[in-house]
Amino acid sequence: MRLGRIASPDGVAFVVIEGDPNSDAVCKEIAEQYLSRNPTFTGRSWPLADVRLLAPILASKVVCMGKNYAAHAREMGSEPPEDPVIFLKPNTAIIGPNIPIQLPADANPVHHEGELAVVIERPCKDVPAAKAKDFILGYTIANDVSARDQQQKDGQWMRAKGHDTFCPIGPWIETAVDPADLDIRTEVNGQKRQDSNTALLLHDVGAIIEWVSAVMTLLPGDIILTGTPEGVGPIEDGDTVSITVDGIGTLSNPVVRKGK
């Protein structure tokens, strides 16, 4: 099942998206003011072509995994960590598909980081890895946009990764995908930058949820970014970043420089 959030001529709605997104998909409105794997419907619907996709969820927090692919850890100049490394992005960084990533005037370089993202369905704390799937709504795509100069200068990652628009997610949430073996690719202006597979995650989704939920309570709609593979690189004013995860779709965002 494909879950999303749209802006239609009638307002904003949570929906189930049925059919081929490239041709005849229809958005069926969900009665509840939240997303679940067991939705009820209002009876209203719109062709996907007639609505605008928004960020599929508004999270209370975005939890991110750092250095969760060995090759990416090494390209950033360090060895893969033994334990998971986590950090937070503010929910104000979230944007949806086709919304511009705004590069701060004083940040350079700013990098893309294509990632598989997990969406939590219900509150959970201290979840064993073996039971993690019971608390997962589904999976989406994320871009952990990062201002590398600020990251290096500050010695920690909050400012560098926390700017408004620095967490594109979407285009929807897929509930039926298996996260263990998914190709993930990032292109900038049609040129391939990242090409990997989630089988290479150092800590898989179950282990991530066990680690994170031991630290903090996860709430419905919270998002966990699972980490980016090697191949991160700069994005510039006028670029378009497209991240594809097999079984989910493609998340695309243009890039603009603030102040221009």
Q: Average pLDDT, stretch 48-58?
A: 95
pLDDT at residue 258, rounded to an integer: 86
Closest CA relative to residue 18, chosen from 31, 34, 32, 30 = 30
**pTM for this predicted structure:** 0.97
The dotted CATH code for 60-255 is: 3.90.850.10
Query: pLDDT averaged over the chain?
Result: 95
In this prediction, residue 75 has a pLDDT band, given cuts at 50, 70 and 90, of confident
Q: Average pLDDT, stretch 176-204?
A: 97
In contact, 193 and 186? CB cutoff 8 Å: yes
Could you give the percent of the chain with pLDDT greater than 70? 100
Q: Outline which parts of the chain fall under CATH 2.30.30.370.
A: 1-52
pLDDT at residue 76, rounded to an integer: 82
Q: Average pLDDT, stretch 14-19?
A: 96
At 101-143, the pLDDT tens digits run 999 999 999 999 999 999 999 999 999 999 999 999 999 999 9
Residue 255 has pLDDT above 80, yes or no: yes
Q: Average pLDDT, stretch 28-40?
A: 90
Residue 259 has pLDDT above 80, yes or no: no
| β-bridge pairing 62-66 and 85-89 | antiparallel
Q: Outline which parts of the chain fall under CATH 3.90.850.10.
A: 60-255
The CATH architecture of the domain made up of 1-52 is Roll (2.30)
At 90-112, the pLDDT tens digits run 999 999 999 999 999 999 999 99
Q: Average pLDDT, stretch 44-55?
A: 96
Q: What angle do CA 52, 218, 103 make, to 5 degrees?
A: 45
pLDDT at residue 260, rounded to an integer: 59
Q: What angle do CA 85, 88, 92 make, to 5 degrees?
A: 160
Count Cβ neighbours within 10 Å for each residue of 231-247 and write b for 16 or more, e otherwise: bbeebeeebbbbbbbee
Could you give the percent of the chain with pLDDT greater than 90? 88
pLDDT at residue 119, rounded to an integer: 98
Bridge partner list, 29: 15
Instruction: Write out the H or E segment, with its range, that includes residue 8.
Output: strand 2-8
Q: Average pLDDT, stretch 154-175?
A: 95
Q: Average pLDDT, stretch 150-158?
A: 90
Q: Average pLDDT, stretch 195-220?
A: 97
At 214-246, the pLDDT tens digits run 999 999 999 999 999 999 999 999 999 999 999
